[in-house]
């Protein structure tokens, strides 16, 4: 098992502290979600990990060896930028052949990545004819055609429609299943929460939450959020009822947050029924990654 570890990593621009005492460990097969508000330090952390920024404090090791001491460590990393770096007038294959020269990738390896990414049908067409999803897949392929052990992605779903999202998520899951270390920075919480198994929350350059996704979600004080499409009379003095943590009015009804004991949800629904309230429940949800983001932002 490969382990990428950051210990007390810091990064300053002039006298401004951008990253502060970052401690993080990511292992083979992990898909780590890096989240935080704009300016939290996510992009800077990706730049430090990928070697774009080389002057930083602390240490980064891979399998216990400092990355600076590992020959050709850069080739163990694939960085998928948010910006698509493709030549529109060239075909997909020509683009891959162009980028392959940077990595020393053979024709056989190029054809393997084409097959792995499922791009055979359109790889000989000009990129200018591609949809957003096709360009995004080709952009990913050009960044990982050297089959890196560590894959770092910055907003890899930008500019694509929902028809392509699951296909790209499946590709990422497959890469994780092959034992790659994957780090993804994104605000697409709803999409990536399906595959992230670990979460790192950054705020003002510091880690404020880090660990197993499900365990972090358990730190959110409420266990269920009930959404109604109308308002109960006098709101039933909801906040006085046991297990109700918060009640928020929306444009159409209420968002009612309940404690983690399952009995609280049953009690709320029973109370509504006994009081003869004609309140339509339009959604019941458990805490999600977006709620974790809201907790710490």
Domain tally, the chain: 2
Task: Tell me the residue range of the domain where 274 lies.
Answer: 224-296
Residue 236 pLDDT grade (very low, low, confident, very high; cuts 50, 70, 90): low
State the maximum Cα–Cα separation within the chain, in Å, rounded to a whole number.
Answer: 72
**Of the candidates 47, 36, 44, 49, the residue with the CA atom closest to the CA atom of residue 16:** 44
pLDDT digits (tens, 9 = 90+) for 261-288: 989 888 888 877 766 666 778 899 999 9
In this structure, the answer to whether residues 87 and 176 fall within a common structural domain is yes
Calpha distance 165→143 (Å, rounded): 18
In this structure, the answer to whether residues 232 and 212 fall within a common structural domain is no
pLDDT digits (tens, 9 = 90+) for 51-101: 999 999 999 999 999 999 999 999 999 999 999 989 999 999 999 999 999
CATH of the domain at 27: 3.40.50.300
H runs (alpha helix) in the chain: 42-50, 92-103, 107-116, 132-144, 162-177, 189-192, 213-217, 263-274, 289-296
In this structure, the answer to whether residues 54 and 166 fall within a common structural domain is yes
In this structure, the answer to whether residues 103 and 38 fall within a common structural domain is yes
Residue 233, pLDDT score: 62
In this structure, the answer to whether residues 244 and 111 fall within a common structural domain is no
Residue 232, pLDDT score: 67
In this structure, the answer to whether residues 118 and 134 fall within a common structural domain is yes
Residue ending a domain, choose from 217, 233, 266: 217
Contact 229, 68 (CB under 8 A): no
Residue 234, pLDDT score: 58
Length of the chain: 297
Mean pLDDT of the chain: 92
In this structure, the answer to whether residues 208 and 243 fall within a common structural domain is no
Classify residue 80 as exposed, middle or buried by CB count within 10 Å of its CB (0-12, 13-18, 19+): buried
In this structure, the answer to whether residues 170 and 42 fall within a common structural domain is yes
User: Whole-prediction pTM value?
Assistant: 0.91
Calpha distance 88→74 (Å, rounded): 27
């Amino acid at each position: 098992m490969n382990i990428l570890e950051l210990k007390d990593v810091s990064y300053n621009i002039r006298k401004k502290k951008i990253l502060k005492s970052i401690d993080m460990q990511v292992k083979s097969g992990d898909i780590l979600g890096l989240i935080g508000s704009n300016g939290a330090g996510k992009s800077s952390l990706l730049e430090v990990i990928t070697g774009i920024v080389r002057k930083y404090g602390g240490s980064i090791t891979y399998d216990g060896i400092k990355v600076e001491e590992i020959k050709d460590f850069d080739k163990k990393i694939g960085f998928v930028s948010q910006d698509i770096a493709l030549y529109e007038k060239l075909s997909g294959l020509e683009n891959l052949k162009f980028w392959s020269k940077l990595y020393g990738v053979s024709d056989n390896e190029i054809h393997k990545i084409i097959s792995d990414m499922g791009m055979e049908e359109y790889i000989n067409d000009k990129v200018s004819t591609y949809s957003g999803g096709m360009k995004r897949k080709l952009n990913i392929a050009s960044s990982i055609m050297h089959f890196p052990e560590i894959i770092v992605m910055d907003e890899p779903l930008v500019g694509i429609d929902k028809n392509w999202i699951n296909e790209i998520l499946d590709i990422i899951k497959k890469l994780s299943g092959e034992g790659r270390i994957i780090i993804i920075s994104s605000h697409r919480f709803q999409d990536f929460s399906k595959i992230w198994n670990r979460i790192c929350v950054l705020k003002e350059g510091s880690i404020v939450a880090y660990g197993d996704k499900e365990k972090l979600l358990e730190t959110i004080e409420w266990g269920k959020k009930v959404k109604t499409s109308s308002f109960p009379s006098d709101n039933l003095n909801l906040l006085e009822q046991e297990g109700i943590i918060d009640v928020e009015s929306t444009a159409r009804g209420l968002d009612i947050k309940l404690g983690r004991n399952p009995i609280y949800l049953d009690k709320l629904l029973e109370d509504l029924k006994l009081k003869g309230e004609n309140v339509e429940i339009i959604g019941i949800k458990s805490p999600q990654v977006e709620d974790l983001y809201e907790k710490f932002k």
